[in-house]
Amino acid sequence: MGEYTLAAFVEKTRQNEREHDYFELEKPQMLEINLNNQFVWTKNGSMVGYVGNIKFEREGMLSGGLGNLLKKTLTGEGAKLMKASGTGRLYVADSGKKVQILKLEGESICVNGNDILAHDQTIKNEITMLKSIAGMMSGGLFQVRLTGNGHVAISTHGDPLTLLVKPGEPVFTDPNATVAWSGNLKPELKTNVSFKSLLGRGSGEEFQMMFQGEGWVLIQPYEEVYFQQK
Protein backbone atom coordinates (compact mmCIF):
# COMPACT_ATOMS: atom_id res chain seq x y z
CA MET A 1 0.00 0.00 0.00
CA GLY A 2 3.09 2.23 -0.18
CA GLU A 3 1.84 3.75 -3.45
CA TYR A 4 -0.72 5.81 -1.52
CA THR A 5 1.63 7.36 1.03
CA LEU A 6 2.11 11.11 1.09
CA ALA A 7 5.73 10.70 0.00
CA ALA A 8 4.62 8.59 -2.98
CA PHE A 9 2.01 11.18 -3.95
CA VAL A 10 4.56 14.01 -3.87
CA GLU A 11 7.02 11.97 -5.93
CA LYS A 12 4.35 11.11 -8.51
CA THR A 13 3.12 14.68 -8.97
CA ARG A 14 6.30 16.70 -8.41
CA GLN A 15 7.76 19.00 -11.04
CA ASN A 16 10.26 17.58 -13.52
CA GLU A 17 13.67 18.98 -12.65
CA ARG A 18 15.42 17.35 -15.61
CA GLU A 19 13.75 19.29 -18.42
CA HIS A 20 14.14 23.03 -18.87
CA ASP A 21 12.97 23.91 -22.38
CA TYR A 22 11.66 27.44 -22.86
CA PHE A 23 8.08 26.23 -23.34
CA GLU A 24 7.35 22.71 -22.15
CA LEU A 25 4.40 20.63 -21.01
CA GLU A 26 4.74 19.95 -17.30
CA LYS A 27 1.35 18.20 -17.44
CA PRO A 28 -1.11 17.86 -20.36
CA GLN A 29 -3.11 20.76 -18.89
CA MET A 30 -0.19 22.82 -17.56
CA LEU A 31 2.50 24.79 -19.36
CA GLU A 32 5.90 25.52 -17.83
CA ILE A 33 7.71 28.58 -19.18
CA ASN A 34 11.37 28.92 -18.25
CA LEU A 35 12.27 32.61 -18.21
CA ASN A 36 15.83 33.91 -18.29
CA ASN A 37 15.73 37.72 -18.14
CA GLN A 38 13.01 37.87 -20.80
CA PHE A 39 9.25 38.27 -20.97
CA VAL A 40 6.24 36.45 -22.36
CA TRP A 41 2.59 37.25 -22.89
CA THR A 42 0.20 34.95 -21.02
CA LYS A 43 -3.57 34.83 -20.77
CA ASN A 44 -4.80 36.99 -17.93
CA GLY A 45 -5.56 34.88 -14.87
CA SER A 46 -3.69 31.82 -16.18
CA MET A 47 -0.81 31.91 -13.68
CA VAL A 48 -1.12 29.01 -11.21
CA GLY A 49 2.37 29.14 -9.73
CA TYR A 50 5.97 30.24 -10.22
CA VAL A 51 9.46 29.82 -8.78
CA GLY A 52 12.01 32.62 -9.03
CA ASN A 53 11.86 36.37 -9.55
CA ILE A 54 9.00 37.07 -11.97
CA LYS A 55 7.05 40.30 -12.31
CA PHE A 56 3.50 40.47 -13.66
CA GLU A 57 1.90 43.42 -15.45
CA ARG A 58 -1.70 43.40 -16.62
CA GLU A 59 -2.15 44.77 -20.12
CA GLY A 60 -4.99 45.31 -22.58
CA MET A 61 -5.86 42.78 -25.24
CA LEU A 62 -2.39 41.70 -26.40
CA SER A 63 0.49 44.14 -26.68
CA GLY A 64 -1.24 46.46 -29.12
CA GLY A 65 -4.46 47.15 -27.24
CA LEU A 66 -7.95 47.13 -28.69
CA GLY A 67 -9.69 49.41 -31.15
CA ASN A 68 -12.85 51.21 -30.04
CA LEU A 69 -15.09 48.72 -31.82
CA LEU A 70 -13.52 45.76 -30.08
CA LYS A 71 -13.59 47.53 -26.73
CA LYS A 72 -17.34 47.86 -27.03
CA THR A 73 -17.81 44.32 -28.32
CA LEU A 74 -15.60 42.23 -26.05
CA THR A 75 -15.76 41.73 -22.32
CA GLY A 76 -14.33 39.32 -19.77
CA GLU A 77 -10.94 38.04 -18.71
CA GLY A 78 -10.46 36.13 -21.97
CA ALA A 79 -9.96 39.45 -23.75
CA LYS A 80 -6.74 40.33 -21.91
CA LEU A 81 -3.16 39.16 -21.67
CA MET A 82 -0.62 39.56 -18.90
CA LYS A 83 3.08 40.34 -19.30
CA ALA A 84 5.38 38.11 -17.23
CA SER A 85 9.06 39.08 -17.06
CA GLY A 86 12.13 38.06 -15.08
CA THR A 87 13.90 34.82 -14.32
CA GLY A 88 12.35 31.61 -13.06
CA ARG A 89 9.81 28.88 -13.81
CA LEU A 90 6.28 30.06 -14.58
CA TYR A 91 3.31 27.67 -14.59
CA VAL A 92 0.15 28.62 -16.50
CA ALA A 93 -3.10 26.79 -17.21
CA ASP A 94 -6.58 27.54 -18.56
CA SER A 95 -9.55 25.95 -16.76
CA GLY A 96 -8.21 22.43 -17.16
CA LYS A 97 -7.99 22.69 -20.96
CA LYS A 98 -5.24 20.76 -22.74
CA VAL A 99 -2.19 22.75 -23.79
CA GLN A 100 -0.73 22.56 -27.29
CA ILE A 101 2.75 24.02 -27.92
CA LEU A 102 3.60 25.30 -31.40
CA LYS A 103 6.96 26.60 -32.60
CA LEU A 104 6.59 29.04 -35.46
CA GLU A 105 9.47 29.30 -37.93
CA GLY A 106 8.52 32.37 -39.90
CA GLU A 107 4.94 31.13 -40.33
CA SER A 108 1.59 32.67 -39.47
CA ILE A 109 -1.39 31.15 -37.72
CA CYS A 110 -4.75 32.58 -36.70
CA VAL A 111 -6.10 31.67 -33.28
CA ASN A 112 -9.42 32.30 -31.60
CA GLY A 113 -8.59 35.08 -29.14
CA ASN A 114 -9.83 33.13 -26.11
CA ASP A 115 -7.67 30.10 -26.89
CA ILE A 116 -4.25 31.78 -26.71
CA LEU A 117 -2.53 30.72 -23.50
CA ALA A 118 0.91 32.27 -24.08
CA HIS A 119 3.36 33.45 -26.69
CA ASP A 120 6.89 34.72 -26.38
CA GLN A 121 8.09 38.26 -27.01
CA THR A 122 9.44 37.52 -30.51
CA ILE A 123 5.97 36.77 -31.92
CA LYS A 124 4.09 39.59 -33.63
CA ASN A 125 0.34 39.69 -33.00
CA GLU A 126 -2.42 41.38 -34.96
CA ILE A 127 -6.03 41.50 -33.78
CA THR A 128 -8.83 41.26 -36.31
CA MET A 129 -12.54 40.61 -36.06
CA LEU A 130 -14.75 38.47 -38.27
CA LYS A 131 -17.09 41.36 -39.07
CA SER A 132 -19.73 39.13 -40.63
CA ILE A 133 -20.10 37.31 -37.32
CA ALA A 134 -20.39 40.44 -35.18
CA GLY A 135 -23.83 40.72 -33.60
CA MET A 136 -24.75 37.15 -34.57
CA MET A 137 -22.69 34.95 -32.31
CA SER A 138 -22.27 34.98 -28.55
CA GLY A 139 -18.58 34.11 -28.86
CA GLY A 140 -15.71 33.70 -31.27
CA LEU A 141 -15.92 37.24 -32.61
CA PHE A 142 -12.24 38.02 -32.73
CA GLN A 143 -9.10 36.29 -33.89
CA VAL A 144 -5.41 36.94 -33.42
CA ARG A 145 -2.89 36.47 -36.19
CA LEU A 146 0.47 35.34 -34.80
CA THR A 147 3.56 35.63 -36.98
CA GLY A 148 7.29 35.15 -36.59
CA ASN A 149 9.84 32.89 -35.00
CA GLY A 150 9.09 31.64 -31.51
CA HIS A 151 6.80 29.67 -29.25
CA VAL A 152 3.03 29.82 -29.00
CA ALA A 153 0.83 27.87 -26.58
CA ILE A 154 -2.88 27.41 -27.23
CA SER A 155 -5.51 25.61 -25.16
CA THR A 156 -8.24 23.21 -26.25
CA HIS A 157 -11.09 21.37 -24.58
CA GLY A 158 -10.06 17.74 -25.02
CA ASP A 159 -7.97 16.40 -27.88
CA PRO A 160 -8.18 18.61 -30.97
CA LEU A 161 -8.57 17.46 -34.55
CA THR A 162 -6.88 19.04 -37.58
CA LEU A 163 -8.96 19.16 -40.76
CA LEU A 164 -7.07 19.64 -44.02
CA VAL A 165 -8.44 22.22 -46.43
CA LYS A 166 -7.85 21.34 -50.10
CA PRO A 167 -8.62 23.27 -53.29
CA GLY A 168 -12.22 22.61 -54.29
CA GLU A 169 -12.96 20.90 -50.95
CA PRO A 170 -14.08 23.60 -48.49
CA VAL A 171 -14.24 22.81 -44.78
CA PHE A 172 -17.15 24.01 -42.60
CA THR A 173 -16.83 24.37 -38.82
CA ASP A 174 -18.82 25.57 -35.82
CA PRO A 175 -17.35 28.96 -34.79
CA ASN A 176 -17.51 27.99 -31.09
CA ALA A 177 -15.53 24.78 -31.74
CA THR A 178 -12.92 26.38 -34.02
CA VAL A 179 -9.58 26.99 -32.31
CA ALA A 180 -7.02 27.91 -34.97
CA TRP A 181 -6.23 27.79 -38.68
CA SER A 182 -3.31 28.36 -41.03
CA GLY A 183 -2.52 32.03 -41.60
CA ASN A 184 -3.19 32.00 -45.34
CA LEU A 185 -6.87 31.07 -44.91
CA LYS A 186 -9.63 33.68 -44.61
CA PRO A 187 -12.84 32.17 -43.21
CA GLU A 188 -16.27 33.28 -44.34
CA LEU A 189 -19.50 33.03 -42.39
CA LYS A 190 -22.29 30.89 -43.81
CA THR A 191 -25.86 30.86 -42.56
CA ASN A 192 -27.84 27.63 -42.61
CA VAL A 193 -31.46 28.75 -42.94
CA SER A 194 -32.87 25.25 -42.45
CA PHE A 195 -31.11 24.89 -39.11
CA LYS A 196 -32.37 28.30 -38.04
CA SER A 197 -35.94 27.38 -38.96
CA LEU A 198 -35.71 24.01 -37.21
CA LEU A 199 -33.96 25.05 -34.02
CA GLY A 200 -35.15 28.63 -33.63
CA ARG A 201 -33.17 31.84 -33.26
CA GLY A 202 -30.05 31.82 -31.14
CA SER A 203 -28.87 28.30 -31.89
CA GLY A 204 -25.20 28.15 -32.83
CA GLU A 205 -25.57 25.52 -35.54
CA GLU A 206 -27.21 27.96 -37.93
CA PHE A 207 -23.82 29.65 -38.47
CA GLN A 208 -20.75 27.97 -39.88
CA MET A 209 -17.28 29.14 -40.78
CA MET A 210 -16.24 28.16 -44.30
CA PHE A 211 -12.57 27.71 -45.16
CA GLN A 212 -11.51 27.54 -48.82
CA GLY A 213 -8.12 27.14 -50.47
CA GLU A 214 -5.26 25.10 -49.08
CA GLY A 215 -4.32 24.82 -45.43
CA TRP A 216 -5.68 23.42 -42.18
CA VAL A 217 -8.24 24.12 -39.45
CA LEU A 218 -8.01 23.00 -35.81
CA ILE A 219 -11.28 22.13 -34.04
CA GLN A 220 -12.07 20.88 -30.53
CA PRO A 221 -14.80 18.49 -29.33
CA TYR A 222 -16.57 21.26 -27.43
CA GLU A 223 -18.63 24.35 -28.25
CA GLU A 224 -17.12 27.11 -26.15
CA VAL A 225 -19.16 30.25 -25.46
CA TYR A 226 -16.97 33.03 -24.10
CA PHE A 227 -19.40 35.73 -23.04
CA GLN A 228 -23.00 36.75 -23.38
CA GLN A 229 -23.89 39.87 -25.30
CA LYS A 230 -25.99 42.50 -23.51
pLDDT, tens digit, 9 for 90 and up, residues 23-78 = 999 899 999 999 999 999 999 999 999 999 999 998 654 444 444 344 434 433 34
Please indicate, yes or no, if residue 1 is contained in any of the structural domains: no
Angle at 43 between CA 190 and CA 28, to 5 degrees: 90
Q: Which domain holds residue 97?
A: 9-219
pLDDT of the residue at 134: 47
Which three-class secondary structure string do you get for the chain? CHHHCHHHHHHHHCCCCCCCCCEEEEECCEEEEEEEEEEEEEECCCEEEEEEEEEEEECCCCCCCCCHHHHHHCCCHHHCEEEEEEEEEEEECCCCCEEEEEEEEEEEEEEEHHHEEEEECCCEEEEEECCCCCCCCCCCCEEEEEEEEEEEEEEECCCCEEEEEECCECEEECHHHEEEEECCCCCEEEECHHHHHHHCCCCHHHEEEEECCCEEEEECCCCCCCCCCC
pLDDT of the residue at 77: 39
Q: Round to whole Å and give the CA distance between 24 and 61.
A: 24
Q: Which amino acid is residue 177, in one-letter code? A: A
From residue 225, alpha-carbon distances to 15, 74, 135, 228 in Å are 33, 13, 14, 8
Q: Round to whole Å and give the CA distance between 150 and 188.
A: 28
pLDDT under 50: residue ranges of the chain: 61-79, 134-140, 197-203, 227-230
Please indicate, yes or no, if residue 70 is contained in any of the structural domains: yes
Biggest CA–CA distance in the chain, Å, is 61
pLDDT of the residue at 228: 41
Count structural domains, the chain. Answer: 1
The neighbour count for residue 191, using CB atoms within 10 Å, is 11
The neighbour count for residue 141, using CB atoms within 10 Å, is 24
Please indicate, yes or no, if residue 100 is contained in any of the structural domains: yes
Please indicate, yes or no, if residue 2 is contained in any of the structural domains: no
Please indicate, yes or no, if residue 91 is contained in any of the structural domains: yes
Q: Round to whole Å and give the CA distance between 14 and 183.
A: 38
Please indicate, yes or no, if residue 230 is contained in any of the structural domains: no
Residues in the chain: 230
Please indicate, yes or no, if residue 121 is contained in any of the structural domains: yes
Tell me the CATH number at 94: 3.60.160.10
pLDDT of the residue at 62: 45
Please indicate, yes or no, if residue 185 is contained in any of the structural domains: yes
pTM of the model: 0.80
pLDDT of the residue at 60: 53
